[in-house]
Amino acid sequence: MGEVVFTDRELDIMAVLWEHGPSTVASVRDRISIDLAYTTVLTILRTLEEKGHIGHEAEGRAYRYHSLVERGEARVSAVDRITRKLFAGSTETLLSHLVSDQDLSDEELQRMRALLNARLGDDDEGEEGA
Amino acid sequence: MGEVVFTDRELDIMAVLWEHGPSTVASVRDRISIDLAYTTVLTILRTLEEKGHIGHEAEGRAYRYHSLVERGEARVSAVDRITRKLFAGSTETLLSHLVSDQDLSDEELQRMRALLNARLGDDDEGEEGA
DNA sequence: GCTGTAATACTATGGTATTAGTAGGTCGTG
DNA sequence: CACGACCTACTAATACCATAGTATTACAGC
C-alpha cells in the first residue's frame, strides 16, 4: 500500500489522464492549463512511467499513455495526508473547515447534507444506535 | 493572495508550531514524529524563516520560533489544490469522497451531519426548500 | 578564567523537480 | 527520393528538497 504521491506537475498531467482517458503527448499538452514545451510534457510522462504510475502503447508513430493508478487511490492518499498534517488527523475538522471556511453556497451545503443523509439512511438503516 | 505552499518536511514542522505554539528547535525536534538531527530541524526552520513563513525571537541562548502563517490559510490552500487537481474542482465530489471512500464510522458521519445541520440551521433558517 | 555543553551559523552532498534543447527516426507527399 | 512535420530518445541545466556535519559562540559551573 505505497502512498501514491505526485509532484505538482505530475498531478497536472495525471488529472488529464483521469479526466480524458488515455492520451497522446500532444493531447495532454493541449489540455493542461499551463503552457509547456512538448518535450517537457513528454519528460514528465516518461518520469511517471518510470515510477510505474502510467503505461503506454504505440499508436501509429505516437504513444498513447494511460494511468495505472486509480484516481480514488490518489484521492485517499492526498486527503489522508492533509488530514494528518493540517487537520490534526481529524476528518471532522476537515469537514468543519469545508462547511465554514471554504466559501460554499447554501445550495452546495444542502446538497452535501443530502449526500450524508443518503449515506446514513441507505447504508444501515437500523444500526445507528451505538 | 500568494498560495501558501509547504514542502513535506516544512509541513511537519509547521504542524508542530500550529499545534503547540512558539517553540524552540529542541522542542520542535522532540515533537515531530520522524527522527531528525538537531541541525536538520534548525535548517528547515531557517528555510521557513527565509521564506517568511515563520519568525523567531531570542530566549536565553536559544531561539523560539513562531508561525507567521495562519493554519487556516494553509488549509484553504491545500484544500483548494486537491479540489482542483483531484476532484475536478468540485467540493461536493470531495465531500462525497469523504463520506463514501474515506472509511469513516457512522458516528463520525452523524457528527458531520450535525455540523452541517448546525451550519444550515443557524445561518438561514427558512430557505431549505430547494 | 577554563572547560563543557548547548545553541546557532555556515557549509556540503545527494537527490528530485521542472523545464527544455538537440538528435534522430518515420511517414506522407511532391 | 528528398523534405517537412511529427514523434521519441537522450542530455542538460537550474533550482529546490532533505539531511546533516563542522565550526563557532555563549553561558554555567567549578
> What is the per-residue pLDDT across A64-93, written as a single tens digit (0 to 9) for each?
999 999 999 999 999 999 999 999 999 989
How does DSSP classify residue B25? H
Task: Please give the pLDDT value at position B41.
Answer: 98
The answer on pLDDT for A123 being more than 60 is no
Check residues A64 and A1 and name the one with the higher pLDDT: A64
**Rounded CA separation B20/B36 (Å):** 19
Extract the C-alpha cell encoding A1.
500500500
Give the number of other CB atoms < 10 A from CB of residue B123.
12
User: Is there a contact between A30 and B101 (Cβ–Cβ < 8 Å)?
Assistant: no
Give the residue from A40, B107, B66 showing the smallest Cα distance to A32. A40
Q: State the pLDDT confidence band at B129, using cuts at 50, 70 and 90.
A: very low
Which residues of chain A lie closer than 8 angstroms to B19, CB-CB? 88
pLDDT recorded at residue B2: 65
Matching residue, cell 515563520? B54
pLDDT digits 0-9 by tens, B15-64? 999 999 999 999 999 999 999 999 999 999 999 999 999 999 999 899 99
Look at residue A89 and give its three-state secondary structure. Answer: coil
Residue A66 forms contact with B (CB below 8 Å): no
The pLDDT confidence band at residue A105, using thresholds 50, 70 and 90, is: confident
- Cβ-based contacts of A112 with chain B (< 8 Å): 92, 95, 116
pLDDT tens digits along B64-117: 999 999 999 999 999 999 999 999 999 989 999 998 877 788 898 898 889 889
Of B97, B113, B119, nearest to A120 by CB-CB distance is B113
Closest Cα of chain B to A117: distance in Å? 8
The integer distance in angstroms from the CA atom of B53 to the C1' atom of D27 is 30
Distance from C-alpha of A113 to C-alpha of B130, rounded to nearest angstrom: 12
On chain B, the residues whose CB falls within 8 A of the CB of A119 are 99-100, 109
Cβ A106 to strand C below 7 Å:
no
Asked if residue A68 keeps its beta carbon closer than 7 A to nucleic acid strand D, the reply is no
The cell for A103 is: 466559501
Confidence of residue B120 (pLDDT cuts 50, 70, 90): confident
Mean pLDDT across A5-18: 97
Could you tell me the pLDDT band of residue B121, with boundaries at 50, 70 and 90?
Answer: confident
In chain A, the percentage of residues whose pLDDT exceeds 70 is 92
**How large a percentage of chain B has pLDDT more than 90?**
69
Residue type, A123: D
Global pTM value: 0.87
- Paired with A58 in beta bridges are A63
For chain B, helix, strand, coil in percent to 5 are 60, 10, 30
Of A119, A128, A130, the CB nearest to B99: A119
Those residues whose C-beta lies under 8 Å from the C-beta of residue B104, and which sit 6 or more positions away, are A91, B98, B112
